[in-house]
Amino acid sequence: MIDPLWGVIAVIGAGTFAWRGAFLVFGHGLRMPDLVRRGLNYVPPAVFAALVLPGLVQWQTDGTMDAARLLAGAVAAWVAWRTRATLPTLIIGMIALWALRALLPA
């Protein structure tokens, strides 16, 4: 039997190609309504924030906040803000997490 996830992937792939090709392939003269155009500006900050915060704000099994994750996230956020680059953010964020795990009481 074919995994139904192939269907999910196919639809995401087709939809993504439609976004990418909307103007490049399908419609040269296509114009977007003003409200949509303005909304598109806020898609990246909104979606990325919604993805990232639940990963940083987490509670441990005993009900306390996972402080190491939160603090490492704050350090990485600062690095990302200053460098505007992915690689240093990943490296310093992971080092901060490991260091805080070692330093903070478990």
Partner 1 sequence: MTSPRRQAFADGLRAVAPMVAAIVPFGVTAGVAGLDAGLGAALTMGMSVIVFAGASQLASIQLIDAGAAAPLVVITALIINLRMLMYSAHLAPHFQHLTAGWRSLMAYILTDQAYALTISRVMTEGGDRCSHWFYLGVALPLWGVWQLATAFGYWAGTAMPPAWELGFIVPLIFLALLMMSINSRPGVIAALVAGSLSVLGRDLPAGLGLTLASLAGIAAGVIAEGWRRD
x/- track of binding to partner 1 for residues 19-58 (CB under 8 A): xxxxxxx--x-x-x--x-xxxxxxxxxxxxxxxxxxxxx-
Q: Among residues 17, 50, 1, which one has the least CA distance to residue 9?
A: 17
Q: Does 59 bind partner 1 (CB under 8 A)?
A: no
Q: Among residues 6, 1, 8, 32, which one has the least CA distance to residue 19?
A: 32
Min dist. Cβ of residue 60 to partner 1 (A):
13
Q: Among residues 14, 35, 38, 18, which one has the least CA distance to residue 26?
A: 18
Task: Quote the CA–CA distance of 74 and 82 in Å, as a whole number.
Answer: 12
Q: Does 3 bind partner 1 (CB under 8 A)?
A: yes
Query: Where does this chain bind partner 1 (CB under 8 A)?
Result: 3-13, 15-17, 19-25, 28, 30, 32, 35, 37-57, 69, 72-73, 76-77, 80-81, 84-87, 89-90, 93-94, 97-98, 101
